[in-house]
Amino acid sequence: MTTLLEVQELSRDFGGVRAVNQVDFQVREGEILALIGPNGAGKSTVLNMVSGVIPPSAGEIRFASKPMTKVPGYEYAGLGITRTFQNLQTFDDMTVLENVMVGMHTKTSSSLFSCGMNLGKAKKEEKLMEQKAHAWLGQVGLATESQRLAGSLPYGKLRLMEIARAMVAGPRLLLLDEPAAGLNHTETAEMSRMFCEIRDSGTAILLVEHDMDMIMTIADRIVVLDQGTKIAEGTPREIQENPRVIAAYLGTEEE
Ligand SMILES: Nc1ncnc2c1ncn2[C@@H]1O[C@H](COP(=O)(O)OP(=O)(O)OP(=O)(O)O)[C@@H](O)[C@H]1O
């Protein structure tokens, strides 16, 4: 399988603290790669670097062979990387449909100037965006909620709305930071099914998650971090049987 994302010797310091230490891994086309580890292992920091939210202190990130560390964060969606956040990033006073359409602004070609010159084209693009947003709301099971204000939606549905917003730009790589946090068992199972469909339709996924049932069910491969360092990589079965991984998790439980 072709490598889509390649991370090499990636490090990040916060003041005197090394949060991520020389981490290597790859995400291949057509797979779900899970990044797991005890609290404070550096998972979100890796995701923030891979999505251009914060720069690395050292190391390389390549997406489809393109070096990414100097690419500004706002260009990532246009290049094919989108993400969801651990803490929901929603616009409560906008409708669900409008919230999803926010995910597409990098994909339209009509600049402010050309909008003024060619209103017809801008309107056509707006219509197309709306159709795509509706289609994704249908995919995540929110078709009937499109005109509701996001602020009135329950938590589980807001998580689904964020996934629709990340998918509407048509990414090649979707980054998910604890998407199942706060969801019940049924919602988590439904979300797992959706992630498999997304993967099968051609978008690779890098998933940070604490829900081990979800990870072990849907991940093709797993990378394990502990205190900023990669301690294991393998299939769900290999990871479950890895003594270093077991020790890292037991150590956390004993604290
Ligand atoms: N902005 C920041 N400033 C200072 N330290 C930070 C910052 N962000 C993260 N850290 C530190 O970096 C380390 C890794 O944090 P990170 O949030 O990446 O871990 P995590 O594996 O995602 O944890 P969790 O599973 O609890 O979300 C921690 O020691 C954390 O305190």
Range of the domain at 22: 1-80+171-255
Q: How many CB atoms lie within 10 A of CB 207?
A: 26
Return d(Cα 195, Cα 49) in angstroms, integer: 22
Return d(Cα 102, Cα 85) in angstroms, integer: 15
Return d(Cα 253, Cα 255) in angstroms, integer: 6
Look at residue 133 and tell me if it is in a domain.
Answer: yes
CB 44 less than 6 A from any atom of ligand 1: yes
CB-based contacts of 186, cutoff 8 Å, min separation 6: none
- For residues 73 and 190, membership in a common domain is answered with yes
- For residues 175 and 76, membership in a common domain is answered with yes
CB 19 less than 6 A from any atom of ligand 1: yes
pLDDT tens digit sequence for 104-156: 865 554 455 555 556 777 778 788 888 999 999 999 999 999 999 999 999 99
CB 224 less than 6 A from any atom of ligand 1: no
Q: Whose CA is nearest to atom 14 of ligand 1?
A: 42
- For residues 253 and 177, membership in a common domain is answered with yes
Look at residue 86 and tell me if it is in a domain.
Answer: no
Number of domains in the chain: 2
pLDDT tens digit sequence for 27-85: 999 999 999 999 999 999 999 999 999 999 999 999 999 999 989 988 999 999 999 98
pTM of the model: 0.90
Q: Whose CA is nearest to atom 29 of ligand 1?
A: 40
Look at residue 30 and tell me if it is in a domain.
Answer: yes
Q: Are 199 and 191 in contact (CB under 8 A)?
A: no
CB 35 less than 6 A from any atom of ligand 1: no
- For residues 39 and 161, membership in a common domain is answered with no
pLDDT of residue 252: 54
Among 168, 185, 200, identify where a domain stops: 168
Among 139, 168, 197, identify where a domain stops: 168
- For residues 120 and 224, membership in a common domain is answered with no
Instruction: Give residue 203's pLDDT band: very low, low, confident or very high (50, 70, 90).
Output: very high
Q: Is the pLDDT of residue 255 over 80?
A: no
Return d(Cα 150, Cα 164) in angstroms, integer: 13
Instruction: Give residue 254's pLDDT band: very low, low, confident or very high (50, 70, 90).
Output: very low
Q: Are 198 and 174 in contact (CB under 8 A)?
A: yes
ipTM of model: 0.96
pLDDT of residue 53: 93
Structure tokens that stand for 149 in this block: 């204000």
